[in-house]
């Protein structure tokens, strides 16, 4: 299609050298044609179909079908009008509206088909007629009359949207009619030939512009085009429909100022403005001017975005990226042009031509534009339904942005603006950090492919630019294809190093979190942990913005998963437990909105939350996360519960897990496990009995394991851990039933080697968890039955109280001497439900989380070591005091009772005494 156009376009320029208008149009069309060709190629490549025509044909037939449907509805309406049947007319009207939607979807445009407008006009006329004819109205049946009135309302409302089009149609129904016929003919050979009525909408259809150019060839169509131009466009044309030499810097500048001034004014079409500005870029006289206008084009393109929550139309986005690349081309070509947004440049700065030696300052901010483009990309991914093709297509645009970011970064580095370069680098990092190597490779491949596709466009472009020598020509200096290192780690390292060197605080923190995430993704737990601890991010994450906090949560989740994969259960639990403590994982990871039963969110909050959501392809699988968290909790909690069986409420490692276990124990019948939770609970029940095989089988049957890359080794590790914990649980639970226990017996029971059992049991002995000793000659464990007297138990209890008191005293002192100690939770040790870093940190911003605020401080510090907290010291004493607590409770009550009665006694004396004196 493009080539066909090119041959024609070429002949045009030869034949009518003077028709500058035509030429310009060709120029514009050519550029977009290149893009269109490229993108179309990209699409077909991507969809893995070698036959691009086939795809096209499908689209066309669907479109035709829709149009046919619409036409038949119009016929129906005509029939209904003839017999004055308003009821059926109303039905048809509803139908046609629905069909209109479909048609719009098929044509992927927001232009309304002419057929529809025609129908509207017809209806309007008929309605007016019907209303005027009062006699006929009286004669109508009641249902018909009602329908007439309803129709009147509907039509009025509906037609408002299309007022302009209707008026236009009314002005010259003939040409429209004629053209409509044309269109239908065109459609057979060209899918978008029908789209040349409204110039204000042309901008939206970048890929179709070439076809318009085609139609310009014959005078007839040209005339029709002229007629339909809006006033402004006409003016513009008149001005520039001159010899190229007559267009001066002044005229362009004047026009430019005029267009820019209209920005944001009521009645200024956004698309129109983009179109006008784009046109101006083509006639710009100096590179600087072109640059200035390009900046305005991009701003105008941002304006197209309907609102904060909606995203920019995708084709506009793509054009925007292209414009940015052109800007870079200019900047690279003329190194003396400086882009700056701090100083207000001279009015006539842009007049200085390409041969001017000194620096030319142009207002603009590359980084801000780039960030905005990235945000729009992000937003569009948020909005698009991830289960559609559209989403995948959108994801394909990622390399496009990466090219731009890479080029901008290179440029900034060249001019020495490292701070901005770091910002751009962060944007790149944020597109790469969550990708495992496989995904990264896929992206690289895609980038290479799309680059092949684009070479076509490049060639044609060069060819085309020859024609417009009178204006500023910008050759493509900046490479249009991204270069990726072999593996993503290398890329991350390059970018992150740059950021660490020259980024600001927030950039550095975010880059650090991405870095941590990426390390964790690649199973490098120790590096991720060291980075996390050395950066002290946990301490001050609560002071950062919500999106960074979400990133922190994501990094923590990933570190937790990583710890699990490499077999560090306690660490994994430490990282994940806080995410799960509030039951708001979705919210904390921004992977969906969780409904709270107790707290109604205001629409404002809801909107904010929706804007924070992560696009689907960045999600961390929640099921896997939950499975890992619960399994970690199970491995830690089951032996712990067995060790403290006398007093279950003390020394809780995972509250979430305990609660789930309680719920599952309350069930009268336990069915076969259904979801992740059920699986883990079933495994827990088996593990409590020391049945490791069953526990492992249940866990092994989970589906989520297929998401792991090194599934076999992880499951192997898991099995070993389960065995170990089963052994520990068994020893804790049944040690009181044994006097001695043979090593061989244990080996047989738990399928572990002698050495393993020996080491596990010895560890328990050393930690004072098990009161026993080894008898080496007989290979037995001899259990000691130790019981403490009440007095001893009380003494233990007292020491515990004292240590708590001492701790809080210490904190008070710390607070006095300027530590942030008071923010610490009151009982750090027992405190399993510290607020997650983000949640708490955002306390002010997320109002429903504010109750966590006091505890945040620790969440950071304690969070990490959560699993391997230095509990060992206090543990033994707590165990013992735990055992005797049952009896302690009684005496406590008795004591207070006595004190109470004494108080009564002394209180009574007062009144007595008064009695005396009185």
Beta strands in 732-824 (DSSP E): 740-742, 772-775, 780-783
| By CB under 8 A, residue 905 contacts other proteins | yes
- In angstroms, the CA 612 to CA 587 distance is 9
Tell me how far, at minimum, the Cβ of 634 lies from other proteins, in Å.
33
Tell me how far, at minimum, the Cβ of 861 lies from other proteins, in Å.
18
**Contact indicator for 440, 428 with CB cutoff of 8 Å:** no
Tell me how far, at minimum, the Cβ of 888 lies from other proteins, in Å.
7
Q: Token digits for 661? A: 């276990």
Q: Three-state DSSP class for 360? A: strand
Among 854, 868, 874, 885, interactor with other proteins by CB under 8 A: 854
Among 229, 794, 828, 832, interactor with other proteins by CB under 8 A: 794
Q: Token digits for 210? A: 């070439």
Task: Pick the stretch among 17-25, 371-379, 620-628, 909-917 that binds other proteins (CB under 8 A).
Answer: 909-917
Tell me how far, at minimum, the Cβ of 823 lies from other proteins, in Å.
8
| By CB under 8 A, residue 649 contacts other proteins | no
Tell me how far, at minimum, the Cβ of 849 lies from other proteins, in Å.
17
Distances (CA, A) of 187 to 61, 227, 436: 10, 22, 45
| By CB under 8 A, residue 896 contacts other proteins | yes
Helix (H) or strand (E) holding 162: none
Query: What residues from 260 to 289 belong to the interface with other proteins (CB under 8 A)?
Result: none
Dihedral over Cα of 235, 470, 277, 4: its sign? positive
Task: Pick the stretch among 93-101, 246-254, 856-864, 888-896 that binds other proteins (CB under 8 A).
Answer: 888-896
Among 808, 839, 851, 876, interactor with other proteins by CB under 8 A: 808
Which lies closer to other proteins via its Cβ, residue 43 or residue 853? 853
Tell me, residue by residue from 744 to 783, as one string, x for binding to other proteins by CB under 8 A and - for no binding.
Answer: ----------------------------------------
Among 131, 805, 813, 872, interactor with other proteins by CB under 8 A: 805
CA-closest candidate to residue 382, choices 147, 607, 120: 607
Among 461, 811, 878, 880, interactor with other proteins by CB under 8 A: 811
Among 809, 845, 847, 876, interactor with other proteins by CB under 8 A: 809
CA-closest candidate to residue 792, choices 877, 899, 708: 877
Tell me how far, at minimum, the Cβ of 894 lies from other proteins, in Å.
8
Which lies closer to other proteins via its Cβ, residue 308 or residue 912? 912
Task: Pick the stretch among 45-53, 621-629, 867-875, 910-918 that binds other proteins (CB under 8 A).
Answer: 910-918
CA-closest candidate to residue 549, choices 99, 342, 859: 859
Beta strands in 266-341 (DSSP E): 337-340
DSSP states along 1-26? -HHHHHHHHHHHHHH-TT-HHHHHHH
**Contact indicator for 305, 312 with CB cutoff of 8 Å:** yes
**Contact indicator for 840, 859 with CB cutoff of 8 Å:** yes
- In angstroms, the CA 546 to CA 377 distance is 19
Among 106, 622, 795, 871, interactor with other proteins by CB under 8 A: 795
Instruction: Measure the CA dihedral 814/815/817/819, to 10°.
Output: 80
**Strands 772-775 and 780-783, bridge-based pairing:** antiparallel
Q: Three-state DSSP class for 362? A: strand
Which lies closer to other proteins via its Cβ, residue 766 or residue 802? 802
Own/partner pairs, 532-537, CB within 8 angstroms, 24+ separation: 532/559, 532/864, 533/864, 535/509, 537/509, 537/512, 537/513, 537/860
Helix (H) or strand (E) holding 363: strand 360-363
Among 539, 804, 831, 875, interactor with other proteins by CB under 8 A: 804
| By CB under 8 A, residue 912 contacts other proteins | yes
Q: Is 416 exposed, middle or buried (0-12, 13-18, 19+ CB in 10 A)?
A: exposed
Which lies closer to other proteins via its Cβ, residue 485 or residue 897? 897
Q: What is the distance in angstroms between the CA of the first residue and the CA of the last residue of the chain?
A: 115
Task: Pick the stretch among 150-158, 351-359, 752-760, 806-814 that binds other proteins (CB under 8 A).
Answer: 806-814
Among 82, 791, 817, 873, interactor with other proteins by CB under 8 A: 791
For 48: left if phi > 0, alpha if psi spans -120 to 50, otherwise beta; the answer is left
Tell me how far, at minimum, the Cβ of 602 lies from other proteins, in Å.
24
Distances (CA, A) of 311 to 207, 374, 385: 20, 11, 13
Which residue is listed with tokens 């009896």? 887
Among 139, 242, 709, 790, interactor with other proteins by CB under 8 A: 790
Which lies closer to other proteins via its Cβ, residue 873 or residue 905? 905
| By CB under 8 A, residue 801 contacts other proteins | yes
Which lies closer to other proteins via its Cβ, residue 449 or residue 804? 804
Which lies closer to other proteins via its Cβ, residue 257 or residue 827? 827
| By CB under 8 A, residue 908 contacts other proteins | yes
Which lies closer to other proteins via its Cβ, residue 583 or residue 892? 892
Which lies closer to other proteins via its Cβ, residue 261 or residue 813? 813
Task: Pick the stretch among 25-33, 561-569, 678-686, 899-907 that binds other proteins (CB under 8 A).
Answer: 899-907
Tell me how far, at minimum, the Cβ of 546 lies from other proteins, in Å.
21
Q: Strand order of the sheet with strand 780-783?
A: 740-742, 780-783, 772-775
CA-closest candidate to residue 692, choices 755, 634, 759, 769: 634
**Contact indicator for 657, 573 with CB cutoff of 8 Å:** no
782: β partners: 740, 773
Which lies closer to other proteins via its Cβ, residue 583 or residue 844? 844
Which lies closer to other proteins via its Cβ, residue 755 or residue 905? 905
Q: Which residues, other chains included, contact 266 with Cβ-Cβ below 8 Å and sequence gap of 6+?
A: none
Among 61, 97, 149, 913, interactor with other proteins by CB under 8 A: 913
Helix (H) or strand (E) holding 46: helix 20-46
| By CB under 8 A, residue 787 contacts other proteins | no
Q: Which residues, other chains included, contact 151 with Cβ-Cβ below 8 Å and sequence gap of 6+?
A: 86, 89, 90, 93, 123, 127
Tell me how far, at minimum, the Cβ of 805 lies from other proteins, in Å.
6
Tell me how far, at minimum, the Cβ of 791 lies from other proteins, in Å.
5
Tell me how far, at minimum, the Cβ of 843 lies from other proteins, in Å.
12
| By CB under 8 A, residue 917 contacts other proteins | yes
Binding residues for other proteins, rule CB under 8 A, total: 43
Which lies closer to other proteins via its Cβ, residue 553 or residue 883? 883
Tell me how far, at minimum, the Cβ of 653 lies from other proteins, in Å.
23
Query: Residues for the chain: how many in total?
Result: 918
Tell me, residue by residue from 824 to 853, as one string, x for binding to other proteins by CB under 8 A and - for no binding.
Answer: --x---------------------------
Local structure of residue 90 (DSSP, 8 states): H
Q: Token digits for 555? A: 């990094």
Q: Which residues, other chains included, contact 520 with Cβ-Cβ below 8 Å and sequence gap of 6+?
A: 528, 555, 558, 559, 561, 562
Task: Pick the stretch among 199-207, 377-385, 452-460, 907-915 that binds other proteins (CB under 8 A).
Answer: 907-915
Return residues touching other proteins (CB under 8 A): 790-791, 794-795, 797-798, 801-802, 804-805, 808-809, 811-812, 815, 822-823, 826, 854, 888, 891-892, 895-896, 898-899, 901-917
């Amino acid at each position: 299609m493009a080539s066909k156009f090119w041959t024609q376009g070429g002949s045009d320029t030869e034949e009518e050298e003077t028709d500058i208008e035509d030429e310009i149009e060709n120029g514009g069309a050519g550029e977009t044609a290149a893009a269109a060709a490229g993108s179309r190629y990209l699409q077909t490549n991507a969809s893995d179909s070698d036959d691009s025509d086939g795809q096209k044909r499908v689209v066309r037939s669907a479109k035709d079908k829709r149009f046919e449907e619409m036409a038949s509805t119009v016929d129906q309406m005509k029939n209904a009008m003839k017999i004055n049947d308003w009821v059926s007319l109303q039905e048809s009207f509803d139908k046609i509206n629905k069909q209109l939607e479909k048609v719009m979807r098929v044509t992927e445009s927001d232009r309304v088909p002419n057929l529809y407008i025609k129908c509207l006009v017809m209806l309007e006329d008929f309605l007016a007629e019907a209303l005027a004819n009062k006699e006929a109205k009286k004669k109508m049946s009641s249902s018909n009359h009602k329908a007439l009135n309803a129709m009147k309302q509907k039509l009025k409302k509906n037609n408002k949207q299309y007022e302009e089009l209707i008026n236009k149609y009314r002005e010259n129904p003939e040409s429209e009619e004629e053209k409509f016929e044309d269109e239908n003919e065109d459609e057979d050979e060209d899918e978008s030939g029908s789209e040349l009525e409204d110039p204000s909408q042309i901008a939206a259809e970048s890929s179709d512009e070439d076809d318009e150019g085609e139609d310009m060839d014959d005078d007839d169509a040209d005339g029709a085009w002229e007629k339909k131009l809006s006033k402004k466009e006409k003016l513009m044309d008149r001005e520039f429909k001159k010899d190229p030499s007559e267009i001066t810097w002044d005229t362009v500048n004047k026009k430019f100022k005029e267009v820019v001034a209209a920005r944001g004014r009521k009645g200024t079409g956004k698309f129109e403005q983009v179109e006008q500005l784009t046109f101006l870029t083509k006639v710009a006289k100096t590179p600087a001017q072109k640059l200035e206008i390009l900046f305005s084009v991009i701003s105008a393109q941002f304006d197209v975005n309907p609102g904060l929550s909606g995203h920019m139309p995708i084709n506009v986005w793509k054009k925007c990226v292209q414009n940015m690349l052109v800007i870079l081309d200019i900047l690279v070509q003329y190194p003396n042009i400086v882009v700056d947004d701090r100083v207000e440049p001279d009015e006539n700065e842009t007049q200085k031509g390409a041969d001017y030696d000194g620096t030319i300052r142009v207002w603009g901010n590359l980084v801000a534009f780039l960030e905005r483009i990235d945000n729009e990309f992000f937003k569009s991914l948020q909005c698009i339904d991830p289960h559609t093709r559209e989403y995948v297509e959108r994801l394909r645009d990622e390399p496009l942005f990466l090219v731009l970011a890479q080029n901008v970064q290179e440029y900034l580095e060249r001019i020495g603006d490292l701070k901005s370069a770091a910002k751009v680098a962060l944007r790149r990092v944020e597109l790469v950090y969550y990708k495992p190597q496989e995904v990264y490779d896929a992206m690289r491949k895609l980038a290479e492919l799309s680059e092949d596709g684009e070479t076509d466009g490049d060639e044609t472009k060069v060819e085309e630019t020859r024609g417009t020598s009178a204006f500023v020509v910008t050759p493509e200096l900046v490479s249009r294809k991204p270069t990726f290192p072999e593996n993503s780690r290398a890329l991350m390292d390059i970018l992150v190093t740059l950021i660490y060197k020259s980024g600001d605080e927030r950039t550095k923190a975010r880059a650090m979190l991405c870095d941590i995430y990426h390390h964790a993704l690649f199973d490098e737990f120790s590096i991720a942990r060291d980075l996390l601890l050395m950066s002290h991010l946990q301490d001050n994450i609560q002071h950062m913005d919500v999106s960074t906090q979400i990133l922190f949560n994501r990094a923590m989740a990933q570190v937790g998963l990583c710890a699990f994969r490499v077999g560090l259960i306690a660490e994994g639990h430490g990282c994940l437990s806080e995410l799960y403590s509030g039951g708001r994982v979705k919210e904390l990871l921004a992977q969906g909105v969780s409904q709270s039963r107790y707290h109604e969110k205001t629409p404002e909050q809801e909107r904010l939350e929706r804007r924070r959501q992560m696009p689907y392809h960045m999600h961390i699988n929640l099921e896997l996360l939950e499975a890992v968290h619960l399994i970690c909790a199970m491995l830690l909690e089951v032996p712990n519960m067995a060790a403290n069986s006398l007093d279950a409420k003390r020394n809780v490692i995972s509250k979430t897990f305990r609660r789930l276990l309680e719920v599952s124990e309350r069930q009268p019948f336990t069915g076969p496990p259904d979801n992740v939770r059920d699986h883990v609970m079933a495994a827990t029940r088996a593990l409590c009995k020391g049945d490791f095989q069953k526990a492992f089988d249940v866990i092994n049957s989970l589906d989520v394991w297929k998401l792991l890359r090194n599934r076999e080794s992880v499951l192997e590790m898991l099995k070993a851990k389960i065995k170990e914990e089963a052994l520990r649980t068994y020893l804790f639970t049944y040690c009181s039933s044994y006097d001695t226990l043979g090593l061989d017996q244990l080996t047989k029971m738990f399928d572990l080697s002698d050495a393993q059992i020996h080491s596990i049991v010895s560890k328990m002995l050393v930690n004072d968890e098990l009161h026993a000793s080894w008898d080496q000659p007989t290979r037995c464990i001899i259990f000691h039955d130790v019981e403490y007297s009440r007095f001893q138990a009380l003494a233990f209890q007292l020491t515990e109280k004292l240590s708590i008191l001492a701790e809080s005293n210490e904190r008070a002192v710390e607070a006095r001497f300027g530590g942030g100690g008071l923010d610490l939770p009151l009982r750090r040790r027992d405190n399993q439900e510290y607020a997650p870093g983000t949640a708490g940190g955002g306390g002010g911003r997320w109002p429903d989380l504010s109750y966590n605020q006091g505890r945040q401080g620790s969440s950071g510090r304690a969070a990490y070591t959560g699993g391997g907290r230095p509990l060992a010291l206090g543990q033994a004493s707590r165990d013992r005091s735990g055992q005797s607590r049952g009896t302690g409770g009684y005496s406590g009550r008795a004591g207070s009772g006595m004190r109470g009665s004494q108080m009564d006694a002394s209180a009574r004396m007062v009144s007595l005494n008064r009695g005396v004196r009185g």
